[in-house]
């Protein structure tokens, strides 16, 4: 089993292994396109927890990270019980917002893990009342460690 803190590779990516659950697939046993966002959300939660600032810490401060823009590229279909890896890292960080990139790879028969899906998100920090606010300094410090090299 991969221990917390060991899920980060040398390029700042957090890697979460997962098997595609039955509840995410359609009658053809492939992941429905909208359900990829569920897989990505689970991985973002794990990324934040392993980075040292669990999403619950935001909620305890009555804050959320709201998605304001997204772009998803579907390259290879995922199916029930596929062994996948969901990779997550921040792309950029500003005072009130951040960009996150994620990708899903899947082991194939030759032992390679080609790209299946890629997602980019822009998120803004908001209060429970919906007002845009600053990202917590502690969150920024945790995320900065995982930014890609320029």
The torsion region of residue 110 among left (phi > 0), alpha (psi -120 to 50) and beta comes to alpha
**Looking at residue 59, which CATH number applies to its domain?**
3.10.129.10
Q: How far is CA 98 from CA 105, 120, 123, in A?
A: 23, 11, 5
Cβ 96 vs Cβ 133: under 8 Å: yes
Q: Is 4 a member of any domain?
A: no
Query: Which strands make up the sheet holding 97-106, listed edge to edge?
Result: 14-19, 83-93, 97-106, 115-127, 63-74
Average pLDDT, the chain: 92
Q: Hey, what are 35's tokens? A: 């359900």
pLDDT of residue 111: 80
CA dihedral 108, 111, 44, 95 (to 10 degrees): -110
Q: Residue 39's pLDDT band (boundaries 50, 70, 90)?
A: very high
3-class SS at 144?
A: helix
pLDDT digits (tens, 9 = 90+) for 42-65: 999 999 999 999 999 999 999 999
Number of domains in the chain: 1
The model's pTM is: 0.90
Residue range(s) defining the domain that contains residue 132: 14-144
Average pLDDT over residues 135-145: 96
Residue 5 lies in a domain: no
Q: Is residue 100 part of a domain?
A: yes
In a domain, 3, yes or no: no
With bands split at pLDDT 50, 70 and 90, how would you rate the model's confidence at 5?
low
């Amino acid at each position: 089993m991969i221990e917390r803190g060991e899920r980060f590779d040398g390029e700042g990516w957090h890697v979460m292994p997962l098997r595609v659950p039955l509840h995410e697939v359609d009658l053809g046993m492939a992941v429905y396109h909208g359900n990829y966002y569920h897989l990505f959300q689970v991985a973002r939660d794990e990324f934040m927890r392993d980075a040292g600032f669990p999403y619950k810490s935001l909620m305890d401060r009555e804050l959320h990270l709201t998605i304001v823009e997204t772009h998803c590229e579907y390259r290879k279909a995922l199916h029930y019980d596929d062994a996948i890896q969901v990779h997550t890292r921040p792309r950029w960080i500003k005072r009130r917002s951040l960009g996150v990139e994620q990708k899903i790879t899947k082991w194939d028969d030759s032992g390679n893990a080609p790209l299946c899906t890629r997602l980019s998100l822009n998120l803004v920090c908001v209060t429970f009342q919906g007002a845009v606010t600053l990202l917590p300094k502690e969150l920024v410090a945790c995320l900065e460690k995982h930014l890609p090299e320029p």
